[in-house]
Amino acid sequence: MRASQDDFENAMNQVKLLKKDPGNEVKLKLYALYKQATEGPCNMPKPGVFDFINKAKWDAWNALGSLPKETARQNYVDLVSSLSSSSESSSQGKPGADREQQEYENLVVTSEDGITKIMFNRPTRKNAISTQMYQEIMLALKAASKDDSTITVVTGNGDYYSSGNDLANFTDIPPGGVEEKAKQSAIMLRDFVDTFIDFPKPLIAVVNGPAVGISVTTLGLFDAVYASDKATFHTPFSHLGLSPEGCASYTFPKIMGPAKATEMLIFGKKLTAREACAQGLVTEVFPDSTFQKEVWTRLKAYSKLPQNSMRISKQVIRKIEKEKLHAVNAEECSVLQKRWLSDECMNATMNFLSKRSKL
């Protein structure tokens, strides 16, 4: 049976009630089907290459070619119905740790043996951090800060720890325009980094593979960093027309001295795990073949240490720096808000997204 106009309008209302953001790809598909169903084939002029968001929308609509309006309407209704049922089934979680796992689309969070493990889980994108993933990491850290585990571990699924900020975050421009997006992103980034600064328990990074950008800078806010010898540490900010975040403008010179920090943060020098360990950014390096076994054996032993003592010791060690770190974070985000709008940054992002350049 063909979808009626009523079915179509119901589906449009259902989209607004979805519990989970369906992601940019699906949103583009919905947009395209909606336009095709209401206006027919795309007859608008193609937007310019710098107009990322409108170009993506135009591409999606144009790709539907001469699909009949009725079929587009039916496809729209079917797509919304599949999204509604998957969002319902994912909200009917089981109690306890299982439910916690189902709440995240881009993370796997587990709690066992006094350890809460937050694992980045977008291995096909090298664990690049999407806007939704920033929110999920904040939620997972806030939950871990209150749960009964003694230590919290952050790691990556697959061959990468994380390739840093998902460069597609630059394309999801809201109706307020790119300046509004930069403003919102600066607020989000500040909250994100504040969550690490304020984290009350021992926070440990298990760096299973290469780390890029924000996944490296935030390491300066962890209490211990264990790395596989396959890991590398890369902050290519100048290559991307960016500047440091994650408090690295303060923590890196403090950890490794200004000269070595300059090589990383300004010249984008990539460090091996052993080099990062020699500079003090990494606590210890393990051969990749025994990495998981050795690290988890050690972490299980640490997790049995008295919880309050560890928490209080962290507080004593970090207290004197906290105010400074919040001020540094605020300043870095305000500088970045302007950087994101620069030609240098826009060109570098566009080059990556159009597959002309890699790091």
Ligand X SMILES: CCCCCCCCCC/C=C/CC(=O)SCCNC(=O)CCNC(=O)[C@H](O)C(C)(C)COP(=O)(O)OP(=O)(O)OC[C@H]1O[C@@H](n2cnc3c(N)ncnc32)[C@H](O)[C@@H]1OP(=O)(O)O
Residues near ligand X (CB under 6 A) are: 125-126, 128, 163-170, 178, 181-182, 185, 189, 212-214, 240, 242, 245, 340, 352, 358-359
Closest CB to ligand X among residues 22, 213: 213
Contact 193, 221 (CB under 8 A): yes
Closest CB to ligand X among residues 140, 240: 240
| Residue the block writes with tokens 């600066």 | 186
Nearest to 187 by CA among 330, 349, 24, 327: 330
Contact 220, 247 (CB under 8 A): yes
Contact 161, 118 (CB under 8 A): no
User: Least distance (Å) from ligand X to the CB of residue 359?
Assistant: 4
User: Least distance (Å) from ligand X to the CB of residue 297?
Assistant: 30
User: Least distance (Å) from ligand X to the CB of residue 21?
Assistant: 16
Name the amino acid, one letter, at 92: Q
Torsion over CA: 231, 106, 183, 53 (sign): positive
Closest CB to ligand X among residues 202, 246: 246
- Please, which residues bridge with residue 234 across strands? 212
Contact 118, 137 (CB under 8 A): yes
User: Least distance (Å) from ligand X to the CB of residue 178?
Assistant: 5
Question: Rounded to the nearest 5°, which phi and psi values hold at 221?
Answer: -105, 0
User: Least distance (Å) from ligand X to the CB of residue 31?
Assistant: 20
User: Least distance (Å) from ligand X to the CB of residue 89?
Assistant: 28
Residue at shortest CB range from ligand X:
213
Closest CB to ligand X among residues 12, 167: 167
Q: How far apart are CA 52 and CA 62, in angstroms?
A: 15
Closest CB to ligand X among residues 204, 333: 333
Closest CB to ligand X among residues 56, 212: 212
H-only helix segments in 106-175: 131-146
